[in-house]
Structure 1
Amino acid sequence: MTRTAAGEADRADRGLGYAVNGPYYDTIFPEQVRVSLTEALRRLVSGAGAVAEIGPGTGVFTEILLELLGPDGEIFAIEPTRIMRAALVTRLSRIPAAADTVTVLPEDALEAEVDVPLDAVVMFNMIMHFSPEQRVRLWRKWARALHPGGLLIMESQHPQTATAVPPSVIPGGTLGRHRYDTLARADVVGENLIRWVMTYRTWHGDDLLREEAAEFDCHVISDEMLAAELSAVGLERHPTAPEGIQAWCRVREP
């Protein structure tokens, strides 16, 4: 059975996937990716009103979006995975501006509802969990949620074809005496489907103290495939989107 975003939330409740990833998430999130995605948001979302962030995880970019909103803006943070939602709410509860601005929704992206037209829908690190059939519903739903001129924003996916990705180490951060990194690889498990195997490692100096692995089945979505799907629901590519960012503007009814 293909895993979906809702399926990943269920797996996390059983101690798999994001249940393993969650305790490490902020320490292993690649700094270069954090910086590039933050800069993309600053360019595309500054001054926005209503924004939906789908799959915010622990709130790494929810906090950035809060800084970028216009004076009457609000955020709908849609996070179905309980362990991630716990971290998200904890982060937001410490930010005074979030109290009247951020609404956390526990539904998945195909079920959550917002009742205002959106200036932007942000989907970082999550669309790979949806099958082609589910993406048809996903794009249509959120394209309709945008007001004319609103943006759908995500990153280009890696890899662009269903090919194995050899093991590589992604450096992470440190907490006190420990440093963290991720050993990542991907195996081909089906047509346009790969399985990422992520091993989260805790080090004290050069001594490996602990490692925990999680697997995620991910649909491969090339930029060309994405363009065809988004064009079909009335979206048009943003002409000045930063490199590596897929930003699509609503120009007609889905």
Structure 2
Amino acid sequence: MIDQYERSAEFLDLLLAPHWPELGPPLARALHGVPGPVVDVGAGGGHGTRVIAEAVPGVEVLAVEPSPGLRSVLLARVHDTPGLRERVTVLPEGLLQARLPARLGAVVAMNVIGHFDPAERAALWDLLVERLVPGGRAVVNLQPPTEAAAVPEFRGGDVRIGRRRYEGLARAEPAGPEQLTWHMTYRTHQDDELVDEVKVSYAWWLLSEERMVAELGGRGLKVQAAGPGMYVIS
């Protein structure tokens, strides 16, 4: 598996952190009362893993993260957070290759669904049908845009740590009717001087709410809005 985050892993966790105060509360509400175990798909550095663990106390969490760089942050966060070390298992494979329990209480896929191509996405939906226990659910979010249109460059994050300021810029261009290519630039400033710049690109498969509802409905699954761009599947 190609690690799309090999060069950007050091920046992602700190630049994504400011977005979790908005994502966390609706995710926690959507998970209220679910049985375990809970799978955190593409757990990254573990911001969502921590939200999941707090939302469902005592439940086992399986945090799936194939990127070695992001997984190192995840493991450190789990190790250093009281109560998580005993409950969270970190799995290094992709979701469809991971050794998961036969029955699952919930599956969480935050900021990750675009990494699944249509065939892989179909396998994910099938996994929900096969493994979710009665009363179980999945929670996913869809990030804009949901159609193949160019996205002008915008600042996605800006964080200062000590003397250094870390800045993330993003733009996208169509790569076919169902796919975008995201171009990311990560800049490091010290004392207001640019001292480093990293550029990476990665593919992102598009999924609209309408298409998701159709794909899931064909499998007997229902979709309910849980917040801006966030959905509960049951």
TM over 0.5: yes
Deviating runs (4+, > 4 A) in structure 1? none
Is 1:61 aligned to 2:37, yes or no? Answer: no
**RMSD across aligned positions (CA):** 1.6
The CA deviation at 1:109 is 1.2
Alignment of 1:180-199 (within 5 A): 180-199=166-185
Alignment of 1:8-157 (within 5 A): 10=2, 12=3, 17-29=4-16, 31=18, 33-50=19-36, 51-71=38-58, 73-115=59-101, 117-157=103-143
* Conserved 8 A contact 1:48-1:70: no
The CA deviation at 1:36 is 2.0
Match of 2:231 in 1: 246
Which among 221, 225, 232 is matched to residue 235 of structure 1?
221
Return the TM-score normalized by structure 2. Answer: 0.93
Measure the CA separation in 1 of the matches of 2:159 and 2:98.
Answer: 33
SS of equivalent to 2:145: coil
**Cα distance per residue 1:8-33 (max 9 Å; x no partner):** xx2x2xxxx301121011221162x3
* Conserved 8 A contact 2:111-2:142: no
Q: What is the letter of the counterpart of residue 28 of structure 1?
A: L
Bigger CA drift: 193-202 or 114-123?
114-123
**Cα distance per residue 1:70-97 (max 9 Å; x no partner):** 33x1101111111111111111111231
Change in CA separation of 1:203 and 1:230 when aligned onto 2, cut-off 3 Å:
same
Measure the CA separation in 1 of the matches of 2:146 and 2:101.
Answer: 35
Change in CA separation of 1:49 and 1:172 when aligned onto 2, cut-off 3 Å:
farther
Change in CA separation of 1:170 and 1:115 when aligned onto 2, cut-off 3 Å:
closer
* Conserved 8 A contact 2:148-2:180: yes
The CA deviation at 1:116 is 5.2
Measure the CA separation in 1 of the matches of 2:57 and 2:14.
Answer: 30
Q: What is the letter of the counterpart of residue 83 of structure 2?
A: A
Measure the CA separation in 2 of the matches of 1:230 and 1:63.
Answer: 28
Return the TM-score normalized by structure 1. Answer: 0.86
The CA deviation at 1:47 is 4.1
Which among 152, 155, 164 is matched to residue 169 of structure 1?
155
What is the total number of aligned residue pairs between the two structures? 233
**Cα distance per residue 1:125-155 (max 9 Å; x no partner):** 1111111122111110133221122111111
Match of 1:200 in 2: 186
